[in-house]
Amino acid sequence: MLNEYFGKILWIDLSNGSFKEDVLPEEIYRQYLGGYGLAAKLIYDNLPAKADPLGSEAILGFFPGLLTGTVAPLSGRYMIAGKSPLTGTWGDANSGGFFGPEIKKCGYDGILIQGIAATPKYITIIDDEVKILDASEVWGLDAVETEDKLKEKHGKVQVACIGQSSEKLSLISGIVNDKGRIAARSGFGAVMGSKKLKAIVLKGNKKIQLSNKDLLLSHTKDYNNKIAATSGGMVSIFKTYGTTAGNVFSGSSGDTPIKNWAGNLKDDFPTERLNKISAGEIDKFKEKDFGCFSCPVRCGAIMKIPELNIEETHRPEYETCAAFGPLLLNDDLMSIFTLNEICNRAGLDTISAGGTVAFAIECFENGLINKDDTDGLELTWGNSQEIIKLVNMIINREGIGDILADGCKRASEKIGKGSEKYAITSLGQELGMHDSKFMSSLGLSFAFDPTPGRHTTSSIDMVAMGPLARNDLIEGFILPKNFRKMGDERFEAHMLVNSLSQFSNSLGLCMFSSMFLKYPLIELIKAATGWDISIEELIKIGLRIQTLRQAFTIREGVILAENELPGRAIGDPPFESGPHQGKTIDYKSDYQGFCEKIGWNPKNGYPLKETLIDLNLDFVIKDLY
Ligand code: SF4
């Protein structure tokens, strides 16, 4: 009998304006869940190897997680997936808000876009009808203006769209929903721009058919009540300040990269400067809370900033504050608000934008570029007004902004003169704003995850800040005792946390779900789908998804095992002062141990044949061997 929990998959070809629906066997969901797990399977099967990520063959997937659209706590995320034009590897990016659940309400578990439109278009899926419409009215507008205009026209809809950066094919641009929540990483804004697709507009009328609604509601209520009753700890911190709580905590502990990863707090960005961008300072502008669909924590906020004539804007996240703050030695909070706003509107990834500006400043400070190259900009550390002008130039691809709009690695290839040493990326993606010398497992994710450079992909040190450290996150999910010490137990933990990251993402869970309370995961999956699933099966699903992302990347010709991180990120040579003095992280040994555990060849990262067979990934063997 058909399991009515599952919807359909919608394929849209913009080259000829056609679309079709597919129904997948339940077995595929059971193997890949939803989100980027399901996307990995469908895109691996349908995208020719080495296709141009900005070409007609490229596939751009929008996938809600398996639990997205239900009221299961913290499950409202959706993922964008495909081949990253920034890194040439598998790519995915994640966003919250309300767009993901609306995909489900339209009756779809995934929307896959192929082809290139002849002229700018947007897609509407409203009350069961799919249309591809002329976008000339909104092309050229920023993401907030676009959403407003499309809501004016279509009523109460959910919108994911691109801003000017993506129209101009910036490889560090993303896709925006809810006027400032962005699936920012991997460069998918450029993919959407290359397809001349301005927006997807959704209004669904379908009810998700839960296997056991009462059970799902009772587990949800129980969890949400516990969140409401919790005072103190991560729950309170996130409810009050969101991720900006990290501005001072991470900045003062050595977690935040300072001065393009070469500085330290004491010498370069002392506490009095750090305090100017603290969560408390930012909180003064908060108007109300913002939370994603089905989230009892609501870590976001909407702010009003009269000094900048901004009536309504999303509070900047920690990553944005760090990338435009300590990374650039900038303590001008108003400039950080401005940069957050212009990047959100243009659809520019703030991590990559900050990393690229840091690169440009270092080039300027060291004489590799001068005022003739920058159209007169004085690109010195902390020069906030010049930084704003530069980011505007990047958004509009003006002057040197055109060179910088594809991230600092590509810019360094154009500038030359040894500038590559200032480009702090992994395979072209600027590293997330957490220092791998502070949390060494980030070295593993930054270097070797199939979406390199990301701080959100399975760092044991990060996940172990929450209940997982006490083995109290998910019933039956147990980390080895000595996971903090280098050796076999740590490698085992890397593998387990890697799997956790894959299955959580594919279920649509927010990554912060691991920070709060024990989560009734197995129960919620069962209540939603009717599956009698075990934690062992979920762990295996996670490993399957990670192995398929890895295989995709290898099929593209990228051997992640050979990737090297910039010396500044790993302490090579070791820093002479500051919290990381004398420290070099051994991320390569970590990877070898991880490969052995997961069943990949430690020399080149190729999944072993027997691993592929064991994970039901036999179809990959012909591509890798
Ligand atoms: S914790 Fe924050 S980011 Fe995560 S789902 Fe809730 S509101 Fe969204």
In a domain, 181, yes or no: yes
Q: Does residue 435 lie within any of the structural domains?
A: no
What's the pLDDT at 567?
A: 97
Question: In 3D, which of 318, 353, 327 has the Cα closest to residue 339?
Answer: 353
Position 1 pLDDT exceeds 70: no
Mean local confidence (pLDDT), 371-390: 97
Nearest CA to 96 out of 35, 182, 156 is that of: 182
Q: How confident is the model at residue 11 (pLDDT cuts 50, 70, 90)?
A: very high
Mean per-residue pLDDT, 514-527:
95
Distance 591 CA to ligand 1 centre (A): 30
Q: Quote the CA–CA distance of 242 and 250 in Å, as a whole number.
A: 13
Q: For residue 483, what pLDDT is reported?
A: 86
* Residue found under tokens 């700890």: 233
In this structure, which residue's CA is closest to atom 8 in ligand 1? Answer: 292
Residue 429 lies in a domain: no
- Determine the residue of 510, 513, 517, 519 to mutate for testing ligand 1's pocket, defined as the one with the most ligand atoms within 8 A of the Cβ atom: 510
Same domain, 366 and 483: no
* Same domain, yes or no: 493 and 608: yes
- What is the mean predicted confidence (pLDDT) over 125-143? 97
pLDDT band at 486 (very low <50, low <70, confident <90, very high): confident
The helix/strand/coil state of 175 is strand
With CA atoms as reference, report the closest residue to 206 among 104, 124, 123.
104
Are 247 and 187 in a shared domain? no
212 lies in a domain? no
pLDDT class of 469 with cuts at 50, 70, 90? confident
Measured in Å, residue 76 CA sits from the centre of ligand 1 at: 8
Quick check: is 434 in a domain? no
Nearest to 297 by CA among 75, 467, 571: 75
Please tell me the distance between residue 313's alpha carbon and the centre of ligand 1 in angstroms.
17
Q: What is the mean pLDDT of residues 256-268?
A: 95
In a domain? residue 461: yes
Q: Give the DSSP H/E element, type plus range, for residue 342.
A: helix 333-346
Q: How confident is the model at residue 466 (pLDDT cuts 50, 70, 90)?
A: confident
Ligand 1 atom closest to Cα of residue 77: 5
pLDDT at 463: 82
Same-domain status, 360 and 395: yes
In which band, very low, low, confident or very high, does the pLDDT at 29 lie, cut at 50, 70 and 90? very high
CATH of the domain at 299: 1.10.569.10
Phi, psi (rounded to 5 degrees) for 429: -95, 125
Task: Report the domain count for the chain.
Answer: 3
Q: State in Å: Cα 16 to ligand 1 middle.
A: 38
Is 530 in the same domain as 592?
A: yes
> What pLDDT score was predicted for residue 210?
96
Per residue in 417-429, is it b (16+ CB within 10 Å) or e — as a string? Answer: eebbebbbbbbbb
Determine contact, residues 561/605, Cβ cutoff 8 Å: yes
Q: Is the pLDDT of residue 365 over 90?
A: yes
As for ligand 1, residues whose beta carbon falls within 6 Å of it are 74, 96, 291-292, 295, 297-300, 510, 512
Mean pLDDT of 329-354: 98
User: In the predicted model, what is the mean pLDDT of residues 397-411?
Assistant: 98
Cα separation, 493 vs 574, whole angstroms: 27
Q: Are residues 415 and 447 in the same domain?
A: no
Using 50, 70 and 90 to split pLDDT, how confident is the model at 458?
Answer: confident
Q: At what angle do helices 408-415 and 350-365 cross, to 10 degrees?
A: 30
CATH assignment at residue 463 = 1.10.599.10
> Ligand 1 atom closest to Cα of 96?
8
Residues in the chain, overall count: 625
Atom of ligand 1 nearest to the CA of 298: 7
**How many angstroms separate the alpha carbon of residue 182 from the centre of ligand 1?**
13
CB 313 within 8 A of CB 341: yes
75 CA distance to ligand 1 middle (Å)? 9
Tokens of 339: 């940069």
Q: Tell me the CA–centroid distance for residue 512 and ligand 1, in Å.
A: 7
Separation of 353 CA from ligand 1 center, angstroms? 23
Instruction: Return phi, psi of residue 412, to 5°.
Output: -65, -30
What atom in ligand 1 is closest to the CA of residue 291? 7
pLDDT band at 2 (very low <50, low <70, confident <90, very high): confident
Note whether 456 and 339 are same-domain residues: no
Domain match, 283 and 388 both: yes
| pLDDT, tens digit, 9 for 90 and up, residues 592-603 | 999 999 999 999
Same-domain status, 273 and 155: no
Phi–psi pair at 310, nearest 5 degrees: -105, 115
List, for residues 533-590, the tens digit of each pLDDT value.
Answer: 999 999 999 999 999 999 999 999 999 999 999 999 999 999 999 899 999 999 999 8
Whether residues 482 and 587 share a domain: the answer is yes
Nearest ligand 1 atom to the CA of 74 is: 5
Q: What is the CATH number of the domain that holds 55?
A: 3.60.9.10
Percentage of residues of the chain with pLDDT beyond 70: 100
Structure confidence by residue, pLDDT tens digits, 169-210: 999 999 999 999 999 999 999 999 999 999 999 999 999 999
Tell how far the Cα of 96 is from the centroid of ligand 1, in angstroms. 7
Closest protein CA for atom 4 of ligand 1: 510
Closest residue by Cα to residue 78 from 209, 224, 217, 188? 188
CA 295 to ligand 1: nearest atom: 6
Protein residue whose Cα sits closest to atom 1 of ligand 1: 299
From CA 519, how far away is CA 227, in angstroms rounded?
A: 11
Handedness of CA 563, 565, 571, 572 (dihedral sign): positive
Out of 364, 396, 423, pick the residue that ends a domain: 423
Q: Is 397 inside any structural domain? A: yes
Tell me what pLDDT residue 290 has: 96
Q: What is the pLDDT of residue 457?
A: 78
Predicted confidence band of residue 392 (pLDDT cuts 50, 70, 90): very high
Q: What is the pLDDT of residue 132?
A: 98
Mean predicted lDDT score pLDDT of the chain: 96
Residue nearest (by alpha carbon) to ligand 1 atom 2: 299
Final residue of a domain: which of 390, 423, 456?
423
pLDDT band for 499, please (50, 70, 90 cuts). Answer: very high
Domain finish residue from 148, 176, 203: 203
Please choose from 68, 74, 98 the residue to mutate so as to test ligand 1's pocket, defined by most ligand atoms within 8 A of CB: 74
Average pLDDT on 50-62 reads 98
Q: How far is the CA of 356 from the centre of ligand 1 (A)?
A: 27
Judge whether 234 lies within some domain.
no
Residue 52 and residue 96 in one domain: yes
453 shares a domain with 373: no
Pairing between β-strand 286-290 and β-strand 300-305 as defined by DSSP bridges: antiparallel
Q: Which residue has the higher pLDDT, 529 or 590?
A: 529
The answer to whether the peptide bond before residue 64 is cis (omega within 30 degrees of 0) is: no
- What is the Cα Rg of the chain in Å? 23
Which residue range is the domain that position 517 belongs to?
Answer: 441-624
